[in-house]
Structure 1
Amino acid sequence: MTAPVPPLDSSGLESVQHLFTAIDHVGVAVPDLDEAMAFYRDVYGMEVLHEETNEEQGVREAMVGVGGTGSCIQLLAPLSAESTIAKFLDRSGPGLQQLAFRVVDVEQVSMILRERGLRLLYDEAKRGTSDSRVNFIHPKDTGGVLVELVQPAG
């Protein structure tokens, strides 16, 4: 992985802004969401902040807060054997599945990253947790790490 030269933005000036504002969450693939939530709550003392089913992504998920920092662990369980998380679990077993960076504008960051030679999984951002907008950088372009870009709702 070589760091490409920063591209010119739409005004023709070199883009030097920080693309990411924070680590939003780390995604962990789990076979059983209820069991995983109980472990994080009972063993680590963490609070489940949000839980939902995302049919489009094929997952049941929960966001677990990490010490009031604003960062979370996202627990992801498959809804079906065809979901991406089910395939991940079959291939790799339970464990770290993704690293998610918070961004201000997911479409703008996606455009800049494409200009820098990275492949994104979606042409346009999709709905993520809590109505966020998300896209993913192909792990073959990031040293094997699936990187998610998250623009929080609102």
Structure 2
Amino acid sequence: MTKKINHIGIAVKSLESALPLYRDVMGMAFEGTEEVAEQKVRVAFLAVGESRIELLEPTSEDSPVAKFLEKNGEGVHHLAYQVDNLDAVLADLAAQGVRLIDEKPRRGAHGTRIAFLHPKATGGVLTELCEV
């Protein structure tokens, strides 16, 4: 089912303020930024080995990431696993009774298809599945 860890999402108040640590101090390869309007975030991706760090900056006060920041402050937001057939994986998880946030895939950054599993079903970790 899961192929690898695709990325770790980190909620930040400002991409501009957070990027220097990851790019300049830690030496991660900066892959660019993108706005994901549907999720009300701007994201920046940085490569580290075969995985990536995804910095998430809210673009609206009603963004889920803005609500996360208000409640928890900056920090790890989600863990994303890469899968080959997201539709089949979601159907299998639903059949096993796993609580899903997204029953159907939606568009993610870089043209990926994504879906989230509810943290109550995954030991308190917001889990994203992504099909590249």
TM tier, shorter chain? over 0.9
Q: Which one has the bigger strand percentage?
A: 2
Count of aligned pairs between the two proteins: 132
What does residue 53 of structure 1 align with? Answer: 35
What does residue 23 of structure 1 align with? Answer: 5
Give the counterpart of 2:24 among 21, 29, 42. 42
Q: Secondary structure at the match of 2:61?
A: coil
The structure with higher relative contact order (CA 8 Å, sep 6+) is 2
The alignment's TM-score, normalised by the length of structure 2, stands at 0.97
Off by >4 Å, runs of 4+ in structure 1: none
CA RMSD of aligned residues (A): 0.8
Q: Secondary structure at the match of 2:100?
A: coil
The alignment's TM-score, normalised by the length of structure 1, stands at 0.83
Alignment of 1:5-154 (within 5 A): 19-66=1-48, 69-152=49-132
Render the CA deviation track for 1:73-121: whole Å, top value 9, x for unaligned. 0000000110000000001000000000000011111111111111111
Provide the rounded CA distance (Å) in 2 between the counterparts of 1:123 and 1:139: 15
Aligned-pair identity in percent equals: 42
Q: Determine which structure has more spread, i.e. the larger CA radius of gyration.
A: 1
Q: Which one has the bigger helix percentage?
A: 2
